[in-house]
Amino acid sequence: MQRLAGKVALVTGGARGIGLAIARRFAREGAAAVILADIDVAEAERVAPENPAFHPCALDVTRDEDWAQAVDRTVARHGGLDVLVNNAGIAVVGTIESVTLAEWRRVQDINVDGTFLGCRHAVRAMKPPAGRGGAIINLSSVSGIVGGHNLAAYNASKGAVRLLTKSVALHCARQKYGVRCNSIHPGFTETDMLRDLASGSRYSPEELAERLRAAVPLGRNAAADEIAGLAAYLASDEAGFVTGAEMVIDGGVTAQ
């Protein structure tokens, strides 16, 4: 059964990593259109030929006007918007003493403001009478639930995404918009972002990955497609009674 048959989805950061894994899963689940929204539109255009459902789109998630254009174009070309995945994000290694104000602001700008703007425009497109309801999925992190001594900016941003999600969910429920909003909290996942974090540590990418695996009760890091599987469930009608939830997928890290 194709759980997303006929649905139109927009995935930010859709050209690589978890975003691309989600886009691929949505296409396999029958989505009619999956918008690969990314600031690196050249990369989105490069991967788009993989699947006829893929449509590349230039999007800087920090720009309100970019969001308005991306959502309006999606609705005009595909007849509506059923699913938004706010996946685009960055991480900076730094303690409260070492992270710079510029780094702090950049992380909040992309991770928090980008998610806020995405939710705002998705609700506008999904709510009645013009919209048909839908699902918003915000990528937070286990770092939005538990702290890390050297992830001050990232912790703060992902904690904000966690509670913004609940606020959006409650608002849409009270307004009877038919719009659900949930957050996903991955643990360590094998992506370019995880490897990039090694540049801010004293370990090589291989050493850092191994140290992170050792901290996971299941003994490994997640594959991006495992995160995508959870996103597909939340986007589907099977999750029709799920809203305001924080879905942890971390191999047992936060159970300790």
pLDDT of residue 209: 73
Active site residue 154: yes
- Going by their DSSP bridges, the two strands 83-86 and 54-58 should be labelled as unpaired
User: 41-67 pLDDT, tens per residue?
Assistant: 999 999 999 999 999 999 999 999 999
Q: What does pLDDT average to over the chain?
A: 95
User: 171-230 pLDDT, tens per residue?
Assistant: 999 999 999 999 999 998 887 765 666 565 677 777 777 788 888 999 988 999 999 999
pLDDT of residue 199: 60
154 pLDDT band, cuts 50/70/90, is very high
| Chain Cα centroid distance, residue 209 | 22
Query: Would you state the structure tokens that stand for residue 58, as one six-digit string?
Result: 């230039």
Read off the pLDDT of each residue in 125-142 and give the average, rounded to a whole number. 98
Q: For 42-78, b where at least 16 C-beta lie within 10 A, e where not — what string?
A: ebbbebbeebebbbbbebbbbeeebbeebbeebbeeb
Q: Give the residue among 77, 71, 63 at the shortest CA–CA distance from 10.
A: 71
Q: Give the residue among 82, 113, 54, 15 at the shortest CA–CA distance from 239.
A: 82
pLDDT of residue 85: 99
Please report, rounded to a whole number, the percentage of residues in the chain having pLDDT higher than 70.
95
* Helix (H/G/I), strand (E/B), else coil: 94: strand
In the chain the domains, ranked by start, together with CATH numbers, are 8-255 (3.40.50.720)
Residues contacting 172, CB < 8 A, separation 6+: 123, 127, 178, 179, 180, 181, 243
pLDDT of residue 211: 81
Residue 149, pLDDT > 90, answer: yes
Bigger pLDDT: 149 vs 198: 149
Please report, rounded to a whole number, the percentage of residues in the chain having pLDDT higher than 90.
88
Q: Which of 154, 177, 203, 233 is catalytic?
A: 154
Is residue 106 classed exposed, middle or buried when 0-12, 13-18 and 19+ CB atoms within 10 A define those classes? middle
- In the chain the first and final C-alpha atoms are separated, in Å, by 36
145 pLDDT band, cuts 50/70/90, is very high
pLDDT of residue 193: 67
